[in-house]
Amino acid sequence: MKRFFPVLLVVVAALVGCEKEFIPDEIVAEAQIVVEGYIESGAQATPPYVILTRSVPFFSELDSNQFNDLFVHGATVDVNDGERTLRLTEVCLRDLPPELQREAARVFGFSADTIGFDFCVYTDPTFGMLGQEGRIYTLRIDAEGQLLQATTTIPRHVGLDSLRFSAPPGEPNDTLVQLRCFLNDPPGMRNYYRYQTRINDGPLLTPFGSVTDDLLFDGQSFAFPLPKAEARGADIDIKTFGLYRLGDTVTIKWMNLDKAHFDFWNTVEFNAANQGPFSSYTRVSSNIQGGLGIWGGLSASYYELPIAR
């Protein structure tokens, strides 16, 4: 072993010396149009809405002024539901009265007072087309001389059977509880689930692992914990992570997605959880032909309940 260890060091040093220098600045990629669009069915059904931006190099530095330049304006955005075609209207935050600015900011999860740039979205202000289960929605975008297309399906909704709070594991706690949900998964069909949480009047937040399929529990009825989502960039306390505070009110948004929509979020979250020099690279799945991003249908139910034992 004493003779082997110096030899190993020599081999490692030789391999390191043969490494080729990688300079990220040498990589120049052509900007692509990025699509983030959704249509929702259920008790709070929404019209289609689409956010159009341009991609930027991975190592770019951005400020609020540059964010304004990323939005794609003047595009023609059409959605077809199999019976008719609806043309979406571009709406920007600065064009709305203050009360609607605050509501839009709450829906999209940011502060209208501190965002620092003009947020724009293509949507139907008349609510003339709302999401419906079982329908197929085709998106067509003509922007800056480029044609982008995508199709999504709003699947049948499978809601939660019941929810209840219980004492968290470990030492007794007088202020925090965990949430347990009960689900009856339909047998013989692949289901894709996603959820978000809202505390009191705050925005809907997405947890670090928001999606799952029923590959391992098809047709089963079971209980499982549903952790509280934390704001991105917030300090995490491992002792309270995922737990709910007594006296607050929580809203659970429980969603069903089609496979392409699930694959998008599954790959996004895998990349977010696997970063660093030794992580594996996974290309984010996209269903946009001619661009990047997601056009996703979803069926959703909302559960609002006070946090109590």
pLDDT, residue 29, reads 63
18: in domain? no
Strands 136-143, 76-80: pairing is: antiparallel
Residues 197 and 147 in one domain: no
Domain co-membership, 248 together with 209? yes
> pLDDT digit string (tens) for 52-74?
999 987 666 666 667 778 899 99
Six token digits for residue 219: 């047709």
**220 DSSP 8-state letter:** -
d(CA 119, CA 116): 9
Could you tell me if 42 and 141 lie in one domain? yes
Asked, for residue 15, whether it belongs to a domain, the answer is no
Asked whether the beta carbons of 11 and 271 are under 8 A apart, the reply is no
162, β-bridge pairs:
182
Residue 5 in tokens? 């260890």
Whether 199 and 245 map to the same domain: the answer is yes
Last residue of a domain, one of 153, 183, 212: 153
pTM of the model: 0.84
**Selection from 104, 272, 115, 307 nearest residue 198 by Cα:** 307
Beta strands of the chain (E only): which ranges?
33-42, 49-54, 76-80, 85-87, 89-92, 120-123, 136-143, 146-153, 162-166, 176-184, 192-199, 211-213, 221-225, 244-245, 249-257, 292-306
For the chain, the average pLDDT equals: 86
Among all chains, which residue has been given the structure tokens 């709003």?
154
Parent domain of 127: 29-153
Residue type, 114: T
- Split at pLDDT 50, 70, 90, the class of 7 is very low
CB 31 within 8 A of CB 292: no
| Radius of gyration of the chain, Cα coordinates, nearest whole angstrom | 23
Domain at 235, CATH number? 2.60.40
Instruction: Determine, yes or no, domain membership for 11.
Output: no
Q: Which tokens sit at 46?
A: 């929404």
Is residue 98 domain-shared with residue 169, that is, in the same domain? no
Q: Which residue has the tokens 């960039």?
A: 233
**Residues 140 and 52 occupy one common structural domain:** yes
Residues 249 and 304: beta-carbon distance below 8 Å: yes
Same domain, yes or no, for 41 and 125?
yes
Co-location of 88 and 168 in the same domain: no
**In terms of domains, do 134 and 186 share one?**
no
pLDDT at position 108: 67
Report yes or no on 288 lying in a domain. no
pLDDT tens string 17-30: 454 554 555 455 67
By the 8 A CB rule, do 117 and 128 touch? no
Q: Which two tokens stand for residue 269?
A: 């979250």
Examine the domain organization and report whether 166 and 278 are in the same domain: yes
Q: Are residues 172 and 276 in the same domain?
A: yes
Q: Is residue 179 domain-resident?
A: yes
The domain boundary residue, chosen from 102, 124, 153? 153
Beta-carbon count within 10 A of 114 CB: 7
- 303: CB partners within 8 A, 6+ apart: 160, 163, 251, 252, 254
Total number of domains in the chain: 2
Share of the chain above pLDDT 90, in %: 64
- Cβ atoms of 82 and 140 within 8 Å: the answer is no
Residue that is last in its domain, among 122, 153, 184: 153
Q: Could you read off the pLDDT of 268-302 as tens digits, one per residue?
A: 998 877 765 556 667 899 999 999 999 999 999 99
Please report which residue ranges of 71-143 form alpha helices under DSSP H.
98-108
Same domain, yes or no: 224 and 187: yes
pLDDT at 111 over 70: no
How do beta strands 249-257 and 146-153 pair?
Answer: unpaired
Give a yes or no: residue 171 inside a domain.
yes
Which helix (H) or strand (E) segment holds residue 28: the answer is: none
